[in-house]
Structure 1
Amino acid sequence: MIPDPTRQPALRHPSRAMAHAQLAERLTERDRWMLRMCHEHRVLTTGQFTALAFSSVNFARRRLAQLHNYGALEKFRPLRTSGSAPAHWVLGPAGAAVLAAEAGVEVHDLGYRPDRALAIAHSLHLAHTLGVVEWFTALATTSGADNAALLAWWSEHRCRALWGDLTRPDGYGRYARGETALDFFLEFDLGSMALATVAAKLHCYAELARTSAVITPVLFWVPTAAREVSARKALHDIWTGLADPDAVPVATAAADLLAPAHPSPAQRVWLPLTATGGERVRLDQLASSWPRVTSAPATVPTPPATRHAVLVPPPPLPPAQTGDR
């Protein structure tokens, strides 16, 4: 006999459909943006969500915990040899159902499966994925001054869906300051790949420029200034051998060049590959270094639809919201 039938899980929890329907009155516009960010970029940490969308880490933790309780987000913590890692957030089943409903498609059309979403916890590319997210997060959250803004941030997976038959950048962005806008591809280097392999990617970008007739700069971000010196030599050797080198504008920067008080990739840390001197420029100033670069309008770009990218990418920052619910 069951002494207290009301405590059965089937009676305590609403049906899955009812639970998803209840999310309609629980999710704010910022919540929906967070779900789209997890779908687009696969994984974000509590610290990254805090920087992008919340006024304090306590507010972020509280709301993320609520979204986890709703089944909208799932989380994991990678093992560390010392201390504890922050919570890492991925899209949950209820969150995927919400996004699919908004797009008028089935969940499987999003390419979502719970086991695949959490598989990144064991991926050898987790550090690289988080590094790219951290790079764009820093750019998005430090771009408010001087009439600057990150207008677009597309993930590696979206880039692969669009250009994967030719090249696979780690991300695409559009950065604007004043009347100047710059489209760019990001190559994010952790220092674990042979520089010859990194530099060889220029052949792929050259083919993309040739077939698309669009000239887009490629930005190489490396961990140290010492590695940047070696990277520039390897890149220059490949670049000068291209059929049309000017169709592949290249610039480099190193993470350890950032000022601790202003750790933004928009700062004066960039050095075009063709620069003869050592004077570095801001991200927006790179546009004037390459006269053949295809002009980018100071508006948000819309990617072409593909069967691998059903949803349009979310904006780099969430919609304005009152309070920290």
Structure 2
Amino acid sequence: MTVKHLSVDYNKVNERGTFSPGDILSGRVTVVTSKETKVQCFLVRAKGKAKVTWHEQQGRARETYSDKKKYFYFEHIILQDKNKGDGSEIIRPGRNVYPFTFVIPNTDMPSSYEGKWGKITYTLRAQLTQSIWLVHKTKIEFPFLTKSEFPFASKSDMIIIGLKERHFATRISFYGSTKVTINVTSEKMGVKQGDAMGVSVEVLNESARSVTPKFYLCEKQTFVAQSKRIVHTNDTLFGMGDSVAADSSRTITKVLSVPPQLHPTFFNCSMMKLEYRLKVTVDVPLARDSEIKLPLVILLGSPKPHQEKPKRSIWFRKFPG
């Protein structure tokens, strides 16, 4: 093994550490060899893609649903032998650095994302081929951020109009011959990552028991492949309000903070989308429809430095047959 090290790295273009459509993606491939090394091909690739895969059990059969979309693909050849595989291209011993530059297409593409059954990734890969039996590879992901301020605008222009408006809903839950009425009002529908929003809950408790409102952040991931659709939901407890005694009423105000690491709402991918709701429930025993859901759009927050994933190199031998 004359190749001791192979890595690929990129230059940051902003303090967030992300790339967007139209940006220049430049970097370097580094290879360390113990002696003069002949290679057949040495190249670096940049790729953006979305992929969805899940499995469903139908009787004894197991069906697989999968789809993928390529946003861009570039390849830069660093070295390639010109004599049909005789290994005439040479890498000198020691540390060798090879620069590269790609221009990311200036088109609408979704941000990097990883969900339950699908992900959107943007990667750099370097591959050094010494022979048909010996291939070295390394890979790194770079974070990508859509340019669209509202990556859900194609869903409905009314969403944008309503981002700063107050939203409210009423629910009446019956318990025996008595009832509990809750009125929920959120100060706005659009909230940035890491920001807070105020929610007001008016509870009219005409039951014989005390009730306690609970606040949940509801996440909904939707994936589409081969004309099939699958949904993954996750409810996270935001917080709890004060109890409202039997035969009484009370208005409870709660300030809810959106986690800064929460991925923003998006619809600009044909195979997956991410939505949120604010859910408020009251624990009325045996009652039906004792919850209210209000629309919630998570917007991109203030720039924060990107925490890079550790780079990994893959070394393997390929044998014929």
TM-score range, shorter chain: under 0.3
The structure with more strand, counted as a fraction of residues:
2
Alignment TM-score, normalising by the size of structure 2: 0.25
Larger helix proportion of the pair? 1
TM-score, length of structure 1 as denominator length: 0.25
Q: Which has the larger radius of gyration?
A: 2
